[in-house]
């Protein structure tokens, strides 16, 4: 193993990442824009915090199709959580609550998934097999997610190479977690069952920045269909990271692509440092065989401690266990991530597996100050038969939890002598990550016996292929060639108005530059003015452009018309007539101004007022006074600048 020592984030170079053998792949989740959910007829995308009722369930592990128990499944069962679902009658029916078998798959969602599979150049499967992917954390009331492969393989261009895809699936979305305290986890169910696609890449990204860039391409490609949801939570990704000699670790549910590089960096560092920790342990003569640890109930010994968390626990009749790790002195402070140490690996496991969710949930002898008294530590060493080379970790909680906690501490410490355990980890806001659960394997897949396999006909594939949008990298090239400003290309290529853009350019002969500005920049400008663009439908846009082609308005009138529509919510011929009037008025004002310029004025500061009076006299009866005043002021202001 290389002697490489991790540098601060900003100083890491691609060569550094090559040295540690950094590899990363993505699992990109994207909600589809459908009216209904995937396997029932509930409305999709109606989020609600209000709930009518609660349902309580527990999850038990079951066997896989090939007859094996999944490791994660057994671990989750150890944790024994009460899972509570909050349901709202409007967004959830008996299907999501696992009291009714699934209905036939949502065909609209399946079409979108197949289309995206084609965009990715994947092999579209001939027959869809709906599988059950086990999740025992309770995030889905059935205990599994219904999911099916729609495409296998595929690739996208990236820099001077291609990034290959493993597969793409269509699946139902899970619940949103509300809280997870002690033995009780609460979920909101409104998102549950919404159609989602998941795209999985091979681990072909070589630096954290590449991961984010590839993610952006994948995200834009699906958005370019105009058939996926946007907004918070509509797109989420799992990032798989490994280093040379490390393990594939999945960082789950990263909502924001910008955060990916730092998360990748910290995970790479964690794995690298855990590998170095293993070297250190081996150097101390501690390996899988020689690893030595035990634990004892020390509740009595600590019954007089002043350290609040333990003091309170004992008062409540809880139990305190002390774990001895032979030869581990100092290693709880071994750095794993930025400002994060091995003790966090231990604490995380105790939190998740033993349900000891109130922090701190452990204290240890490598950072003994501000915990129990020095004399207590000394007594503990004596009772535990510990030397100065050993480490002590204290965990407290209800009887079963304190037992589970002590056992789990030993399990996690022993794993450090072997390597990096396969885990899924959750992203934290500071860019570090924490343990979520043991990484599930393919054993957790099980065929869905409620729904038969579904053939996908060639006719269906051909129909979708014929309506498929141009791929974004092809679009980008073409837009630049026809003169779309490069800062607009980025937005236009994933815009829902991309088809309309081509239509007005081709059918109405509008210049690509102007059409793209009007379709991308103008709505942004309106939104900045806090105006809604809902009334600006494709049809309305088309009609506006047609006015230009028919010489009824000038290019300059497009934005004012859009603004008027945004303000009133409707499109009316009157706007054009009024605009026409305004245009004429402006011409008269400009002309009058030239005449006025040559007139002698005594009081210079009254010049503008006099000009408006003069105008009023000239134009009386032909137009509304206030409009004349407004236009005149605009012209005078423009002159001042």
Q: Does 153 engage in binding with another protein (CB under 8 A)?
A: yes
Calpha distance 405→352 (Å, rounded): 9
What is the residue-wise DSSP string for 18-63? HHTT-EEEEEEEEEB--SB-SSS-SBSS---S--SEEEEE-----B
Q: Residue 455 binds what, of Zn ion, another protein, none (CB under 5 to 8 Å, by partner type)? A: another protein
Report if residue 452 touches another protein, rule: CB under 8 A. yes
Q: Minimum CB separation from another protein for residue 350, in Å? A: 24
CB under 8 A: which stretch of 109-117, 428-436, 449-457, 566-574 binds another protein?
449-457
CB closer to Zn ion, 192 vs 356: 192
- Angle formed by the axes of helices 573-597 and 558-568, to 10°? 130
Residue 95 is a binding residue for Zn ion (CB under 5 A): yes
From 42-50, 114-122, 437-445, 600-608, span contacting Zn ion (CB under 5 A): 42-50
Among the candidate windows 91-99, 333-341, 415-423, 568-576, which touches another protein by CB under 8 A?
Answer: 91-99
Q: Are 108 and 123 in contact (CB under 8 A)?
A: no
Contact status: 85 vs Zn ion (CB under 5 A): no
Query: Which tokens hold the place of 17?
Result: 């990442």
Pick the closest to residue 280 from 378, 360, 391, 382 (CA basis).
Answer: 391
97 part of the interface to Zn ion, by CB under 5 A? no
Could you tell me if 344 and 331 are in contact, meaning their C-beta atoms sit under 8 angstroms apart?
A: no
H-helix or E-strand containing 391? Answer: strand 391-397
Residue 58, contacted partner among another protein, Zn ion, none, CB below 5-8 A by kind: another protein
Span from 205-213, 256-264, 436-444, 525-533 in contact with another protein (CB under 8 A): 436-444
Return the closest-CA partner of residue 111 out of 405, 359, 438, 468.
468
Instruction: List CB contacts of 277: < 8 A, sequence separation 6 or more.
Output: 331, 334, 342, 416
Q: Which is nearer to another protein, 41 or 333 (CB)?
A: 41
In the numeric block, the tokens 């958005």 are attached to: 223
DSSP H/E element including 64 = none
> C-alpha 477: how far from its chain's center?
28
- 272 in contact with Zn ion (CB under 5 A): no
* Interface segment toward another protein; rule CB under 8 A; list 48-56, 349-357, 371-379, 626-634: 48-56
528 binds, among another protein, Zn ion, none (CB under 5 to 8 A by kind): none
Taking the complex as a whole, how short is the minimal distance between the CB of residue 49 and another protein, in angstroms?
A: 14
Using CA atoms, how far apart are residues 592 and 561, in angstroms rounded to an integer?
26
β-partners of residue 320 are 396
Which residues 93-132 are close enough to bind another protein by CB under 8 A? 94, 97-101, 123-129, 131-132
Q: Which is nearer to Zn ion, 95 or 541 (CB)?
A: 95
Tokens of residue 161, six digits: 């190479």
Count how many Cα atoms sit within 13 Å of the Cα of residue 152 in the half-sphere of its side chain.
5
Burial letters for 534-555: b for 16+ Cβ neighbours within 10 Å, e otherwise?
eebeeeebeebbebbeeeebee
Torsion angle (degrees, nearest 10) of CA 629, 635, 639, 640? 40
Binding status of residue 93 toward Zn ion by CB under 5 A? yes
Q: Work out how close the CB of 311 gets to Zn ion at its nearest, in angstroms, rounded to a whole number.
A: 49
**Residue 40 within binding range of Zn ion, rule CB under 5 A:** yes
Q: How far is the CB of 80 from another protein (least distance, A)?
A: 12
Does residue 638 belong to the site contacting another protein (CB under 8 A)? no
Residue of 1, 53, 181, 480 interacting with another protein (CB under 8 A): 53
- Residue 100 binds which of Zn ion, another protein, none (CB < 5-8 A, kind-dependent): another protein
Going through 153-248 in order, the beta strands assigned E by DSSP cover 155-158, 161-172, 176-181, 184-188, 195-201, 235-242
Query: What's the closest the beta carbon of residue 92 comes to Zn ion, in angstroms?
Result: 6
Distances (CA, A) of 479 to 178, 486, 495, 541, 545: 45, 8, 13, 19, 19
User: Which of the listed partners (Zn ion, another protein, none) does 93 bind, with a CB threshold of 5 to 8 Å by partner kind?
Assistant: Zn ion
Is residue 203 part of the contact set for another protein (CB under 8 A)?
no
What are phi and psi for residue 485, nearest 5 degrees? Answer: -55, 140
Phi, psi of 212, rounded to the nearest 5 degrees = -65, -40
**CB closer to another protein, 445 vs 588:** 445
Q: Does 73 bind another protein (CB under 8 A)?
A: yes
Among 42, 175, 301, 331, binds Zn ion (CB under 5 A): 42
CA 622 to chain centroid, in Å, comes to 58
Is residue 459 close enough to count as binding another protein by CB under 8 A?
no
Contacts with another protein by CB under 8 A lie at: 51-67, 69, 73, 84, 89, 94, 97-101, 123-129, 131-134, 136, 141-144, 147-149, 152-153, 166-167, 169, 200, 441-447, 449, 452-453, 455
Contacts with Zn ion by CB under 5 A lie at: 40, 42, 93, 95-96
């Amino acid at each position: 193993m290389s002697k490489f020592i991790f540098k601060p984030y900003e100083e890491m170079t691609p060569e550094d990442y090559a040295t540690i053998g950094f590899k990363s792949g993505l699992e990109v989740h994207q909600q589809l824009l459908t009216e209904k959910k995937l396997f029932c007829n509930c409305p999709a995308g109606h989020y609600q915090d209000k709930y009518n009722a609660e349902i309580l369930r527990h999850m038990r592990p079951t066997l896989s199709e090939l007859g094996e128990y999944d490791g994660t499944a057994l671990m989750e069962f150890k944790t024994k959580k009460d899972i509570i679902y909050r349901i709202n009658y409007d967004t959830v029916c008996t299907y999501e609550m696992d009291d009714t078998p699934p209905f036939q798959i949502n065909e609209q969602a399946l079409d979108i998934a197949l289309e995206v599979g084609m965009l990715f150049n994947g092999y579209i499967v001939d027959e869809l097999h709906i599988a059950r992917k086990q999740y025992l954390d309770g995030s889905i009331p059935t205990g599994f997610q219904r999911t099916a492969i729609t495409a296998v393989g595929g690739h996208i261009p990236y820099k001077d190479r291609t990034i290959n895809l493993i597969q793409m699936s269509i699946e139902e979305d899970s619940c949103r977690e509300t809280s997870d305290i002690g033995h009780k986890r609460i979920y909101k169910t409104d998102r549950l069952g919404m159609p989602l696609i998941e795209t999985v890449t091979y681990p072909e990204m070589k630096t954290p920045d590449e991961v984010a860039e590839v993610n952006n391409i994948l995200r834009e490609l699906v958005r370019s269909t105009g058939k996926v949801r946007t907004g918070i939570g509509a797109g989420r990704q799992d990032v798989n990271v490994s280093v040379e000699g490390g393990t594939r670790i999945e960082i789950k549910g990263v909502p924001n692509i910008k955060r990916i590089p730092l998360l990748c960096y910290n995970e790479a560092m964690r794995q690298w440092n855990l590998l170095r920790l293993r070297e250190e342990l081996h150097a101390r003569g501690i390996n899988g065989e020689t690893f030595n640890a035990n634990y004892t109930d020390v509740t009595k010994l600590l019954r007089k401690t002043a350290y609040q968390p333990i003091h309170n626990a004992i008062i409540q009749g809880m139990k305190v266990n002390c774990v001895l790790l032979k030869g581990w002195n100092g290693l709880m402070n071994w750095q794993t991530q930025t400002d994060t140490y091995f003790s966090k690996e231990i604490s995380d496991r105790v939190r998740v597996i033993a349900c000891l969710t109130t922090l701190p949930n452990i204290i240890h002898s490598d950072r003994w100050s501000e915990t129990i008294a020095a004399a207590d530590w000394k007594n503990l060493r004596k009772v535990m038969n510990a030397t100065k080379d050993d480490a002590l970790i204290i965990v407290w909680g209800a009887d079963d939890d304190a037992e589970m906690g002590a056992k789990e501490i030993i399990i996690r410490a022993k794993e450090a002598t072997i390597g990096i355990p396969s885990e899924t980890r959750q992203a934290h806001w500071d860019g570090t990550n924490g343990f979520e659960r043991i990484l599930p394997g393919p054993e957790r897949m099980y065929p869905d016996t409620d729904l038969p396999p579904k053939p996908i006909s060639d006719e269906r594939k051909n129909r979708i292929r014929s309506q498929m949008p141009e791929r974004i990298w092809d679009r980008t090239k073409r837009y630049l060639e026809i003169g779309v400003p490069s800062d607009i290309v980025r937005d236009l290529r994933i815009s829902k108005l991309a088809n309309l853009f081509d239509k007005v350019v081709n059918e109405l002969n509008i210049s690509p530059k102007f059409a793209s500005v009007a379709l991308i920049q103008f709505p942004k400008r309106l939104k900045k003015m806090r105006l809604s663009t809902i009334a600006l439908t494709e049809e309305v846009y088309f009609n506006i452009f047609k006015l230009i082609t028919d010489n009824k308005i000038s290019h300059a009138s497009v934005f004012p018309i859009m603004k008027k529509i945004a303000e009133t919510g409707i499109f009316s011929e009157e706007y054009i007539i009024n605009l026409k009037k305004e245009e004429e008025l402006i011409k008269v004002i400009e002309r009058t101004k030239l005449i006025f310029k040559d007139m002698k004025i005594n009081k210079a500061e009254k010049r503008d007022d006099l000009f408006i009076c003069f105008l009023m006299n000239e134009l009386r009866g032909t137009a509304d006074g206030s409009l004349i005043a407004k236009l005149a002021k605009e012209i005078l202001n423009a002159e001042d600048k």
